[in-house]
Every structure is written in structure tokens, then in C-alpha cells.
Structure 1
Amino acid sequence: MTNHPRGLIVAAPSTNSGKTTVTLAMIAALRRRGRVVQPYKCGPDYIDPAFHAAAAGRPCYNLDSWAFNRGRVAALLEAAVGADLSIAEGVMGLFDGGSHAGAWGHGATADIAAATGWPVVLVIDVAGQSQSAAAVALGFARYRADVTVAGVILNNVASARHEALVRAGFAAHPIPVLGTLVRHASQSIKNRHLGLVQAREHAQLTERLDALATLAEQGIDLAALKQLAQPSRFDTPATPAFAPPGQRIALASDDAFSFIYPHLLAGWRAAGAEIVPFSPLADETPDDSCDAAWLPGGYPELHAGRLAASSRFISGLRAFAETRPVHGECGGYMTLGAGLIDADGARHAMTGLLGLETDFAQRKLHLGYRVATLHAPAAGHPAGTVLRGHEYHYARVLSVSDEPLADIHDASGVATAETGSRRGHVTGTFFHMIDSSQEPAA
């Protein structure tokens, strides 16, 4: 087994507790001190990892017990070799996951903590409570024997008196308080309907991370964190890299198309593929030397007018699709469709490569893990391949007029109405691919 650096997990009792802010503050502060931190993000998230990567100066990879096979997790943990410390941010609450098991777990942060042996630092938002915070921490520490809660960080502390009251609750218990972050509304990061506003959209992200590093240095015992961290005990052999969809892949990349998992790009490169970015918003076309095009998710609904007016992009993508595969995920899939109705009710013509019509004026949430068995080749995989992914969008589907791409089920095994689409060389799905089986299904 490769000698992994020490690691720990930043988790919380629930979402919106401040674990992303605390994680970024810790990573930025350690980097300021010359430490090399390998960031990870538990669960199916493609927004937080971009912030982690900016703070650490190196890519952040997802870890997911529902969607990844164990060998894929082992391969991603190898990215930490050479780092001083690994820090993984959790998803939702520490023990929250699906009710149905996936590849080898339920998708909970606790699954990753148990499998790696990394201790958990619990971030507790203490707004509106004092001594009760200790009771919360004790309950979490005792809930699962194979997960170690090594300490807590108190977030949203209102005053010195408030901090003293909260600490009083921990005085008679063995869970150490590793630090505090005071209420700093100016340091919060704005949200959008799919999570945080993208890292690439923050003009002053460097300054924001610098301010968070200062908060961490003032309020968190960084030396104690390093002492608590433990080497990973994950010893499964690594799975080979992903099969790329082509040797040279034209990748749509701008503010409308940026939701793609970092491990996917790293896997393509490890398999020898070259990635050639282009910007639909800048009316750019896929490079003609490429042999596949990929439109990831993002926010096409916020830029639908510009996309509809990008005639060079549309005609270039249509010409490309006549002879080579084009695949779209979620926002990319909608852009491959015939039309998109924005939040104000205006319809915008999209590329027309597929017959999908979507509507954001009357939104409908689609959220959850997906298992898809391909009817035809797509995304670099042959027909029959079983893909695991995650769907998260608010688009209402008005119509689909193409052949279904796959049989798709949710985590409980119930078939979904969305089947993806295929027409000629063009394919699309609402879910983002996370991992695949190694062989096509029988």
C-alpha cells in the first residue's frame, strides 16, 4: 500500500453549518504556512471542489461510497502522495446518505471516515445555542463505533461570553474544542440554486481566501489538527483510469459549462487523452482536430440568450456532430436540445441536435443518485455499460423526441422518467457520470 499522508475529515451535524467555510479557512491557512494540502470532497459535488482547489493550489477530488467502486477511491487517494496533509470536506450531515446501499456504502461522509480511518472534526454552528452544542457532539461521537470524532470547531460564535458558555458544555467531556470562528457575514460565500456561486465567478476569490486564512490562524489550533490527523488505512488496489471518449476531447468550458468532476478529467489525461477547451459563450467551436466533444453541466439557463445568439458555436457543433460523438450532461444536455425556456418565460432556441425541450419558468427539482445501463455507446463507453452518476437540476422537461439512451433507475431501483437521449452521434443525460462498471452488463 502506498504511504499516504495523514488526513482528516471536516463534517457537520447538518448542511449549512459552515463546513465549506471552515475547510477553506484551514486549507488556506496551512498553505500560507508552506504546507501542501490535498483536498477532497465527499459526495457528488462539483462546485465546492473548485473552491478547495483554489485554496490548496492543486486539484480536489470527490470520494463517494455510493457511486465509486473501492478501487476508484484507492486511485484517487494516490493523489495525496507527496502532500503534508489530506483534508476532506463532508457532505450534508456526517451520517446522512441514501437509504439504499450503492457500490459499497450509502454515500455518507461517515462511510469515507470509517474506510480511511481519518478522524472527524465536527463543525457545529452554535448560533442560538450554548451548552447544548456539547450534547450534539457527544451524540455524534457515540453514534457509530467505526467513526472517530476527534474534536469540534465552533462556528458562528457571537461574542466572548457566547464562546465561554459553549465551551462550558465541553468542559466535563472528552471531546476537545479545536477552535472557533466568529460571526463574519462578510466572509460568507453566496449561494445559487445548485449550491455556491462558482469559484470562477468570484473576482476577489484570492482576497477572500486570504481573509479566511487569517480567521483560521486567529481561531483554530492548526497544530492540533495536524496531530489528530491519521494515515489512510484504505488498502484496496487502485482501479485503472477512465476510458476517455476520444484521444482529443473538445471540452466546453466557461461560466455556462463548468460542472465536471475533476477525477473524470484526471482519468482521461491519465489514459493519454488531450483535453482542448472551447467557450460557447465566446461563440467558439470545437477544435476540428478533436475526435469527440463534451458539454458538461453548468448554468445555460442564465446565459440562454447569449447561447442562442452564438451562431458560430451552433453551426460548428452541428458540423462536428455529423461525423464525431458529442455528449452533454445536464446543462450540456439541455443545450444540445431544441429549446430552453428561462426563468422569465422566454424560449431560446438551442443547438437542435436533440429534441429535448426544457423549462425553468415552472421549476421542478430533480435530485438523486442514478444507475444507467446504456442502450448505445456514449461518453466513451460501449452499449451495455452500467454507469453510476448523480442528477441535480431544476429544469422541467416539456418533451423529448429521440431514442432513449439508457435504462435509468434511482438509488432505490425505481425507474426514472428521464432516460437520456440519442440521435446519430449525439447523446445526452441529465445525470453527471461519476463512475462505471469495468465491463458491459450481460
Structure 2
Amino acid sequence: MTTRGWLVAAPRSGGGKTTVTLALVAALRRRGVRVRTAKSGPDYIDPAFHAAASGAPGVNLDSWAMPPPLLDRLFTQAAEGAELLVVESAMGLFDGVAGPTGRTGNAADLAARYGLPVLLVLDVTGQAQTAAAVAQGIARFDPAVRVGGVILNRVGSDKHRRSVEAAMRLPVLGVVPRDAGLALPERHLGLVQAAEHPALAAQLERLADMAERCLDLDALLDVSPFPAMPGQPGNTNLLSPPGQRIAIASDAAFSFTYPHLLRAWREAGAELLRFSPLANEPPPDSADICWLPGGYPELHAPALAVADRFHAELRRFAETRPVHGECGGHMVLGAALTAADGSTHPMTGLLGHITSFAQRGLHLGYRRATLPDGTVLRGHEFHYATVTQPGDDAPYATVEDAAGASLGPTGGRRGYVTGSFFHAIARETA
């Protein structure tokens, strides 16, 4: 099958990439096009919206955290059976970290590696001809990256459109007016999760209607196919399943799991057993490991505090089997969690730290984590919670940032229990 694709990008965050991506995907799906999606960089929230719009699970593609063989494998899987693959950039097109060519974590790495043309979304609020200069600068910045077209977003009037479009030296494939009704609700880590959106199906229909009116869908479909699809490599440095039967907390408080990891665990023969701490459910006793993903426990601290069955059964589980918490899961493994209003709520106490969402600080960036056995993982950290009391547990790992600067020990270990704010993506290439 001939697969075509676009990388939807912008000069910065907040420019409308997700709105345009969802509108394009929803409109093409309504036309019967087999459209699939991917998200550049570490992001748990946008892929869930992509999946709702396309009707198929998406994937994350991260050129810093994922070694090239894993990146190629996931790109190939994302394009399987697709007539069009739509990849949404994180932040600005060229925003990443210092690193070897193709390993910076920016979306431009993907455009260059896979021959993906860039669909540049320009928020032209407060601009006219200058928007064309911005587009030209982006188009000329890296010869390996080709800008195939531009979407003018948040256009104020026909006069505004004409002044911008007349100066543009790239194909204009859509003009989206200012419309607050197109926006998706947000909170501190990004968009409100897809599963919590009060009327997501209706919103996607509205976005599809907008795409039919405002985007040149025929031109967007008439894009050149990929010049070459990568093969299926051997060693991809995926994380092995942590157990044969994995109990995974899954609800509004625990929802940050990477699709590529869950798929890899299933393909390796592991069974995933989902349960809801918010519903006071314990990990299934048949599991041989319990995994508490990240999410929004800070928004559900009172409910988690009184989930007595979950607390008691998790403690019993941890007496004989591993329990691991990532980010939000790590917060719940601690002794207590202070919510935004300053109220403090007891957590499971399997580790000794206390975290606070009332005392906030942004922790954001790629991380390289070295475990006590020498295993090196690549991943990231993104949270506003702070550790107000560290406890006295042994550290889970030592971490560095993307530049190699030491950030010291992180997280905790006690018996079978481990946790930290680090989100794992892949093993580092040897």
C-alpha cells in the first residue's frame, strides 16, 4: 500500500497544531480515508485525542529517547494499513535539545528521516505580512526539512486573510478563522484528557465540519508518498515486560501509559490486568507485578485517600511482589499528598516521601536514568508537584538531564516497592 503523510507543526506551542490535526483527521475519517496518527515527543494526552479522531490507536515517536531502530519500528507500525499518516509536532518544529544529527528530540528529525512534508500551522493573530517572513525562515532553516504547505490559523477577517496570503510564498492549504468554540479545554499538564472531555464526539464533528469548510482536503490528500519505508529492525531497545501478568492502574487519576510499551509487553506475551484505585479496586491478586502510571492524583487526592480496600490490598501485594509507580503513581506510593487547596491526604505509605501540589514548581525535561543494576533508561519528567519531605528510602535511580548534567538521586526503593517522577520510554542503546 502506498502511504502518504504530513507532519503538522508550528513555530511554537499554542499555535493550533492539535486543533488542526484533529480537524484534518476527523474530516478525512468521515470521508472514509484510512488515516493514522503519531505524536512527536513525550506526550500522553494528545495521542488519546488522536485515537478518538482516527478510530485507531496512535503512537509516540521520540528521536532523543528512542534509538533509531525503535523509532523506525514504531514509524512502520504507525503507517501500517494507512492511506495517510498524520504526525503532530510537539512545541515548535525545531525545538529540542543539543545532540547528534537526528537525535535532538525535535519534530524536524522525523521530517528529515522519513521524508515527511511539514504542514505549517501559523497563528497569524496580530500579524500580516510578517507571518510570511516567519514561514520563509522556517522553510529555509534546514535543507533536509521540506515545508509542503501552510495553514493560516486564527484569521480575523477576509481583509486579514488577503494581506497574509498575498505575501505568502508557500502553498496556503487552509485558512481557519478565530473561533473560541474550536478550542479544547486545558489544565496544568496540557489538555483535559480525552476520556474526561464532556462532549468529545460532538467537538470532533465540529472540527470535521470546520476542516471541510476551511482546509483544502483534496490537496492535503494529494501529497507525495514516503520516499522509503524503514524495514523492521532487530534489537529495538524496548523495555521488557516487568512481569507475566501486569496489574495496571487505569482511571482518571492513572492514565499516562505509552502505547508502544503496552503493545510491546503484549507482543512479548504479557497479560495486562486493569483496575481502578478511584473505584477502590485492588490490584488483581493473580498479577505478579503492579504498575501505577502517572496521571492526575493531585486532582483526586480525597478520593484516593479514602480508598481503603485499594490501600490495604496494595500493601499486602507489596509484601511479596513488585510495585512500581511513575510520577503520579510515585506520589500515591508516598506517605501523603497535599492538594492545591493545602489539605493533606494520606496515601499508601509504601514509600516515605510526601508530595505537594500546593507548593508547585515546574519540573520538565528529558532524563537519562541509571538503575542500581547498571541499566540505563531514557525518558522524561513533567510535573508541578514538589517533594516536601523526601523520606529515608534508598533512591530508585540516579538521573541526568539531556545535556549530561547530573541531577542526583531520584525516587525511592523499599523492599519490593519502587517509584520516581521519571517516565521511562526506552533502554539506552549500548
- TM-score for the superposition, normalised by structure 2: 0.96
Residue number in structure 2 paired with 1:380: none
Kindly indicate whether residue 43 of structure 2 is the aligned counterpart of residue 81 of structure 1: no
Q: Mean Cα displacement is larger for which, 155-164 or 237-246?
A: 237-246
SS in 1 for 2:406: coil
**How many angstroms does 1:227 deviate by?**
1.7
Residue number in structure 2 paired with 1:204: 199
After superposition, what is the alpha-carbon deviation per residue over 1:215-252, rounded to whole angstroms, capped at 9, x for unaligned? 00111111111222431635364345531111111110
SS in 2 for 1:127: coil
**How many angstroms does 1:203 deviate by?**
2.3
For 1:89, give the aligned amino acid: E
Residue number in structure 1 paired with 2:218: 223
Structure 2 counterparts to residues 322-341 of structure 1, below 5 A: 322-341=319-338
Determine which of 397, 403, 412 is the counterpart of 2:394. 403
Q: For the residues of structure 1 that align with 2:30 and 2:3, how far apart are their CA atoms?
A: 19
After superposition, what is the alpha-carbon deviation per residue over 1:366-402, rounded to whole angstroms, capped at 9, x for unaligned? 1100001111xxxxxxx22110011000111122220
Structure 2 counterparts to residues 177-216 of structure 1, below 5 A: 177-216=172-211
Whether contact under 8 Å (2:249, 2:275) holds in the other structure is: yes
Structure 2 counterparts to residues 74-223 of structure 1, below 5 A: 74-79=72-77, 80-98=79-97, 100-101=98-99, 104-170=102-168, 173=169, 175-223=170-218
Kindly indicate whether residue 49 of structure 2 is the aligned counterpart of residue 54 of structure 1: no
Whether contact under 8 Å (1:418, 1:430) holds in the other structure is: no
Q: For the residues of structure 1 that align with 2:3 and 2:221, how far apart are their CA atoms?
A: 11
SS in 2 for 1:287: coil
Q: Mean Cα displacement is larger for which, 383-392 or 228-237?
A: 228-237
Determine which of 197, 219, 241 is the counterpart of 1:244. 241
Q: For the residues of structure 2 that align with 1:390 and 1:252, how far apart are their CA atoms?
A: 20
**How many angstroms does 1:437 deviate by?**
3.0
Whether contact under 8 Å (1:368, 1:391) holds in the other structure is: yes
User: Runs of 4+ in structure 1 displaced over 4 angstroms?
Assistant: none
Kindly indicate whether residue 422 of structure 2 is the aligned counterpart of residue 431 of structure 1: yes
Kindly indicate whether residue 268 of structure 2 is the aligned counterpart of residue 277 of structure 1: no
Kindly indicate whether residue 327 of structure 2 is the aligned counterpart of residue 307 of structure 1: no
Whether contact under 8 Å (1:115, 1:234) holds in the other structure is: no
- TM-score for the superposition, normalised by structure 1: 0.94
**How many angstroms does 1:293 deviate by?**
0.7
After superposition, what is the alpha-carbon deviation per residue over 1:119-177, rounded to whole angstroms, capped at 9, x for unaligned? 0010000111112111111111000000000110011011222111111112xx2x100
Q: Mean Cα displacement is larger for which, 338-347 or 103-112?
A: 103-112
Whether contact under 8 Å (2:325, 2:420) holds in the other structure is: yes
Q: 1:53 to 1:155 in 2, by over 3 A?
A: same
Q: For the residues of structure 1 that align with 2:106 and 2:367, how far apart are their CA atoms?
A: 16
Whether contact under 8 Å (1:7, 1:232) holds in the other structure is: no
SS in 1 for 2:161: helix
SS in 1 for 2:60: strand
Q: 1:102 to 1:142 in 2, by over 3 A?
A: closer
Residue number in structure 1 paired with 2:360: 363
SS in 2 for 1:284: coil
Q: For the residues of structure 2 that align with 1:233 and 1:388, how far apart are their CA atoms?
A: 28
Q: For the residues of structure 2 that align with 1:78 and 1:123, how far apart are their CA atoms?
A: 25
Determine which of 8, 11, 34 is the counterpart of 1:10. 8
Whether contact under 8 Å (2:61, 2:71) holds in the other structure is: yes
**How many angstroms does 1:429 deviate by?**
1.5
Determine which of 8, 23, 26 is the counterpart of 2:24. 26
Whether contact under 8 Å (2:377, 2:424) holds in the other structure is: yes
Q: Mean Cα displacement is larger for which, 234-243 or 56-65?
A: 234-243
Q: For the residues of structure 1 that align with 2:55 and 2:40, how far apart are their CA atoms?
A: 19
Q: 1:297 to 1:129 in 2, by over 3 A?
A: same
For 1:341, give the aligned amino acid: T
SS in 1 for 2:125: coil
Q: Which runs of 5+ in 1 are unaligned?
A: 376-382
CA RMSD of aligned residues (A): 1.5
**How many angstroms does 1:278 deviate by?**
0.4
SS in 1 for 2:5: strand
Q: For the residues of structure 1 that align with 2:216 and 2:367, how far apart are their CA atoms?
A: 40
Whether contact under 8 Å (2:2, 2:225) holds in the other structure is: no
Q: For the residues of structure 2 that align with 1:115 and 1:232, how far apart are their CA atoms?
A: 10
Q: For the residues of structure 1 that align with 2:133 and 2:182, how far apart are their CA atoms?
A: 28
Whether contact under 8 Å (1:8, 1:229) holds in the other structure is: no
Whether contact under 8 Å (1:47, 1:195) holds in the other structure is: yes
Q: Which runs of 5+ in 2 are unaligned?
A: none
**How many angstroms does 1:115 deviate by?**
0.6
For 2:423, give the aligned amino acid: H
Structure 2 counterparts to residues 404-423 of structure 1, below 5 A: 404-423=395-414
After superposition, what is the alpha-carbon deviation per residue over 1:321-364, rounded to whole angstroms, capped at 9, x for unaligned? 11111111000001011111111111111000111111111111
SS in 2 for 1:403: coil
Q: 1:64 to 1:388 in 2, by over 3 A?
A: same
Percent identity of paired positions between Structure 1 and Structure 2: 57
Q: For the residues of structure 2 that align with 1:227 and 1:355, how far apart are their CA atoms?
A: 57
After superposition, what is the alpha-carbon deviation per residue over 1:59-79, rounded to whole angstroms, capped at 9, x for unaligned? 111111110011111111222
Q: For the residues of structure 1 that align with 2:225 and 2:17, how far apart are their CA atoms?
A: 20
**How many angstroms does 1:305 deviate by?**
0.7
Structure 2 counterparts to residues 372-391 of structure 1, below 5 A: 372-375=369-372, 383-391=373-381
For 1:434, give the aligned amino acid: I
SS in 2 for 1:276: strand
